[in-house]
Structures are given as C-alpha cells and as structure tokens.
C-alpha cells in the first residue's frame, strides 16, 4: 500500500504526538469556554467543509472546529486539495497514495490515515 509520507512535520504542524495533543487539548479547552458555540457545532449538518491548512499557530483552532463538524457528518468521501509549496508547475498533480502518514502513531513511522 502506498503512503503519503510527512513532509512538513515540525514546521506547519508539530512533529511529535505529545505536542499535537497539547495543541488539540488547548483548542478544545478554549472551545468549551463558549458552550453556545460548542452546542451549535454538535448539531451542524454539512455536505462540505473547507479546512485551513496554514501553520497550526495561525489556523489550528479553526481547523479543529472544522474537523469537529466533520465528526458529526460521517462523510463517505474526503477530498484533500492543496497547493504545491515547493515546486511551481502548470496544471495539477494528483496524489494516488492510499493513506497519509501523521505523527500521531505510536511507531516510528507514525499513523496512517485512510
């Protein structure tokens, strides 16, 4: 099975599971301090979500909210669209990997999202 390996861990998002968990815990703590927003998110039904992908210090809180909305949507298909950060080119590039590696796994290779 082909795996899209991590290429920006430690720059756009943390490279360690522990640091990622600290970020998410912080985002969730802030969100829990606003119970009205938290309740509204739990009842949202959506067909599409656009999630920001800037560095977590800039967009992590907003991305966390988007993923919370998705947990209630139970999507059948997820499409990841993003720009090339390293090489400019005309047209599009399509990644045909079956999963994405993340730092959240317990082994040295990280967890693969499918």
pLDDT digits (tens, 9 = 90+) for 35-77: 787 667 767 767 778 888 788 889 999 888 888 777 777 777 7
Question: What is the average pLDDT across 27-36?
Answer: 86
Measure the CA–CA gap between 16 and 104, rounded to whole angstroms: 7
Q: How confident is the model at residue 107 (pLDDT cuts 50, 70, 90)?
A: very low
User: What domain range is 23 assigned to?
Assistant: 3-113
Tell me if 66 sits within 8 A of 31, measured CB to CB: no
| pTM of structure | 0.69
pLDDT of residue 38: 64
CA proximity to 69, closest of 96, 85, 50: 50
Sheet with 3-4, side-by-side order of all strands = 3-4, 99-102, 111-113
pLDDT of residue 55: 85
Q: Does residue 4 surpass a pLDDT of 50?
A: yes
Q: Which of the given ranges, 2-11, 18-27, 91-100, has the highest pLDDT on average?
A: 18-27
What percent helix, strand, coil does the chain show, rounded to 5? Answer: 35, 10, 55
The domain tally of the chain equals 1
Mean pLDDT, the chain, as a whole number? 79
Q: Which residue has the higher pLDDT, 28 or 72?
A: 28
């Amino acid at each position: 099975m082909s795996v899209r390996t991590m290429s920006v861990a430690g720059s756009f998002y943390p490279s360690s599971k522990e640091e990622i968990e600290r970020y998410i815990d912080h985002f969730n703590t802030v969100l829990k301090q606003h119970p009205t927003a938290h309740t509204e998110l739990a009842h949202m039904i959506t067909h599409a979500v656009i999630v920001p992908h800037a560095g977590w210090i800039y967009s992590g809180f907003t991305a966390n909210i988007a993923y919370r909305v998705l947990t209630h949507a139970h999507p059948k298909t997820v499409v990841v669209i993003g720009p090339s950060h390293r090489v400019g080119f005309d047209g599009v590039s399509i990644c045909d990997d079956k999963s994405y590696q993340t730092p959240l796994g317990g082994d040295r290779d990280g967890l693969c999202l499918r």
